[in-house]
Structure 1
Amino acid sequence: MSTADCETKRRILLTGSRTWTDTATIRAALAEQWGDGSAVLITGACPRGADAIAETIWREQGGHVERHPADWEQHGKRAGLLRNTEMVALGAAVCLAFIRESSPGATHAAALAERAGIPVHRYPHPEGGPAVSNSAPSTDQLRYALAAAARGWHVFPLVPRNKVPLKDWKWKECATTDPATIRRWWARTPYNVGIACGPSGLVVIDLDIPKDGQSPPSSWDLPGVNDGADVLALVCEQAGQPLPTLETFQVRTRRGGTHLYYTAPEGATLGNTQGEDGNGLGWLIDTRGAGGYVVGPGSFVALPDGTGTYDVIHAAAPAPLPEWLAERLRPAPLPPQRPVAVPLAVDRRGSYLSAAITAELDRVTTSPPDGHNTALYRASVALGQLIAGGTLAEAEVTGWLAGAAAQVGQRPGEASRTIASGLRAGANRPRSVPA
């Protein structure tokens, strides 16, 4: 895939007061964001004030405007807040806020953008002083992205102040070591740094610390076991093996945990594990390998469960992952492939249901290795609609989906969460079956 295919048009979210009258400030701010002219301006479609001024300027230059008018007739007083939520959820590279007289709607949109990890540039009206920005782009993340690429690690942008990839980016295909591409991606926005472990030849062990109020499960509720590092020490002791060498690349995470970077063994494909699920190492230990990524050093994350930077604490070259750990992390063989039994009536209605259910289960069992979870979610949504329509029982559907997930090697805990999420989504759109 070419780098051009990896990139989506840059989205500029704009929010502002209806009483905003200054054109010059908006024109100057938009000029800074124009780039090559392919960026999209997103507005709340207010007929006057900042939105109207910005739309006129952007279109005069030949730019595309994406408008999101509030549906006051349907939602009443909540329409503006709902519109703001939908606009922010679609994602943006930056939010430009032109707020005058403490406009509650524009203030709400800017606050939502900040919580979503979108950098917000606030511009006061000239009557209140010159334009200012509270989140000017930084070169730190670019420097760290280039340093990671120099080690042969494939990098890609994460949402600023967050841990997730940019919306609509296929990060697995796009991650690169090319300096020119990296400079272009980070040229205007302080994206956080994602490192794709598979193509980088890495296995990263994530030793976490408990969140406030989090207690260990009974199997790890032992003296001296307080965090992921303690759990790893106990795992090694129980296996009769030494701790994996700490003479390797190490990163301190935002909450005080540790990422230990190791080189993946040749000829083995080690995926991702979470806690004790499947072949996981234990409580507060995750691992990332093929198909996974980690937040790279130099990133700054501000989320409700913790704010901080990812800092290199030992810059040594990654050591080889110990053979016994590689064996421990190797996925268990899949169970024998058997069709998932769907006992239904053989009448016309039953035949219709059987075909629909079989198609969704086949969606899971025939999905590619990197698409199992997505396929499971979509199948759960579809069957969740039938549950909500009164056609199927939730317990039966959950069992069928769990069986399909097991056939493709999905970890039970992850599969259970995905199924539950998909069924909840499907319940919002009930679907019945003709008699």
Structure 2
Amino acid sequence: MSAPNHQTARRILLTGSRTWTDITTIRAVLAEHWGDGSAVLVTGACSRGADAIAETLWREQGGRVERHPADWGTHGKRAGLLRNADMVALGAAVCLAFIREASPGATHAAALAERAGIPVHRYPHPEGNPTVPHIAPSADRLRYALAAAARGWHVFPLVPRNKVPLKDWKWKECATTDPATIRRWWAQAPYNIGIACGPSALVVIDLDIPKDGQSPPPSWDLPGVNDGADVLALVCEQAGQPLPTLETFQVRTRRGGTHLYYTAPDGVPLGNTQGEDGNGLGWLIDTRGAGGYVVGPGSHVTLPDGTGTYDVIHTATPAPLPGWLVERLRPAPLPPQRPVAVPLATDRRGSYLRAAITAELHRVTASPPDGHNTALYRASVALGQLIAGGTLVEAEVTGWLADAAAQVGQRHGEASRTIASGLRAGANRPRSVPA
């Protein structure tokens, strides 16, 4: 594409499905219509799918975009139809229609354009029905694992048809890019594929969709906000920033969400976030960085909340994570280091307990950056055993562990979940202290 020239204003109307995922087709079509770069791309301003992809690609080349968001708050369910009529009434030289799964909104816009005498070019999505999962056999999963390793991404096995590492495997230590090791692992079983983000220098933004019956919290209960992609679009709008480039590696997750892969910034350790927790970006958006992993493409998961395959939808090299998102996700400064107060009796039994508690809290505060959560869990299990044995009080132990987690920068919500999980595990093996 050449540099834009804005002396003329040819209007290109684009309509498409929210479920459109093929970037390659849209890029090729836009290149055909770029001309001298003066054309204006007219879209319905949907936050994901064909509109979002086209807007990002057009702007990245320096092109102008004219957006027509639907006014759901005023017009309710009719907002999309009225928006389509307004766009068509303004006229266009051509209408590009990227319709998938018979999307009613995009189909309506294309039909209106035809009635108005605007030439409509329709493009089929290259994939089949996305609701029919493709279960990759073991050989295919090996191929996916080797392909990830060839990109420099450290992989490890996940339980077949699941999202969790193999029991008793220390995935942070064993994740590798070594082809011989990967072939040996995947020769044993059709394991799913885990990608360790930290050693792979990746930050992955996970845009999820709500589960059945799940509704947005009040702060995100807004017209047009239906899933993680919508939330990200709103976060960008509120920050006065463009959507992160879609010219990056992308994976469609088993429930229809999206993983956007970006390269991690040098010298800024970005960990994991969940939803609005701590530095999190918002509802239905998780991020995975140092100390986290994602389910890699080629994996097939069967769980009560959804069954499906993780499929690559764009094979581009991961783009750098935008600077403003780096700052948004940067961990808050650690509070001043101080010893965690453990008020116990000074007799022999109290001294024993004090030493045991201090050792577990030190396990947390002395843990490496990518090992905080593991250390916190193990400490919680050990102290949970003493709670179950009647030696310690749960509320006090929870407070001590939370203080230790805060000192190493663990986010409150994540730390609370880890502590509760560890205490439950410890309760299964009560331990008492002799008098």
Mapped partners of 1:260, 1:219: distance in 2: 24
Runs of 4+ in 1 over 4 A off after TM superposition: none
C-alpha distance 402-144 of structure 1, shift in aligned 2 (>3 A) = same
SS of equivalent residue, structure 1 residue 243: coil
Deviations 1:328-357 (A, max 9, x none): 111111100011112233344433333332
Is the CA contact (8 Å cut-off) linking 2:388 and 2:429 kept in structure 1? yes
The answer as to 2:368 corresponding to 1:386 is no
1:162 partner amino acid: N
SS of equivalent residue, structure 2 residue 198: helix
Is the CA contact (8 Å cut-off) linking 1:137 and 1:188 kept in structure 2? no
Deviations 1:54-81 (A, max 9, x none): xxxxxxxxxxxxxxxxxxxxxxxxxxxx
Matched residue, 2:307: 307
Matched residue, 2:141: 141
Instruction: Tell me how far 1:419 sits from its aligned partner.
Output: 1.4
- Structure 2: runs of 5+ lacking an equivalent: 1-134
Range 199-208 or range 338-347, more displaced:
338-347
Matched residue, 1:316: 316
The answer as to 2:402 corresponding to 1:402 is yes
SS of equivalent residue, structure 1 residue 198: coil
Mapped partners of 1:164, 1:304: distance in 2: 14
Matched residue, 2:79: none
SS of equivalent residue, structure 2 residue 425: helix
SS of equivalent residue, structure 2 residue 149: helix
Root-mean-square deviation (CA, aligned residues, Å) is 2.1
Deviations 1:269-291 (A, max 9, x none): 22211112221111111111222
Mapped partners of 2:422, 2:188: distance in 1: 37
C-alpha distance 382-338 of structure 1, shift in aligned 2 (>3 A) = same
Matched residue, 1:237: 237
Matched residue, 2:75: none
How does the TM-score come out when normalised to structure 2? 0.65
Is the CA contact (8 Å cut-off) linking 1:137 and 1:189 kept in structure 2? no
Instruction: Tell me how far 1:251 sits from its aligned partner.
Output: 0.7
Matched residue, 1:191: 191
C-alpha distance 348-170 of structure 1, shift in aligned 2 (>3 A) = closer
Percent identity between matched residues is 92
Is the CA contact (8 Å cut-off) linking 1:203 and 1:289 kept in structure 2? yes
Aligned residue-pair number: 301
Is the CA contact (8 Å cut-off) linking 2:136 and 2:299 kept in structure 1? no
Is the CA contact (8 Å cut-off) linking 2:383 and 2:423 kept in structure 1? yes
Matched residue, 2:206: 206
Mapped partners of 2:246, 2:182: distance in 1: 30
Range 203-212 or range 339-348, more displaced:
339-348
- Structure 1: runs of 5+ lacking an equivalent: 1-134
Deviations 1:122-162 (A, max 9, x none): xxxxxxxxxxxxx9953211222222223232222222211
Mapped partners of 1:429, 1:188: distance in 2: 33
C-alpha distance 140-361 of structure 1, shift in aligned 2 (>3 A) = same
C-alpha distance 206-343 of structure 1, shift in aligned 2 (>3 A) = same
C-alpha distance 374-154 of structure 1, shift in aligned 2 (>3 A) = closer
SS of equivalent residue, structure 1 residue 156: strand
1:172 partner amino acid: K
2:204 partner amino acid: V
How does the TM-score come out when normalised to structure 1? 0.65
The answer as to 2:341 corresponding to 1:341 is yes
Matched residue, 1:87: none
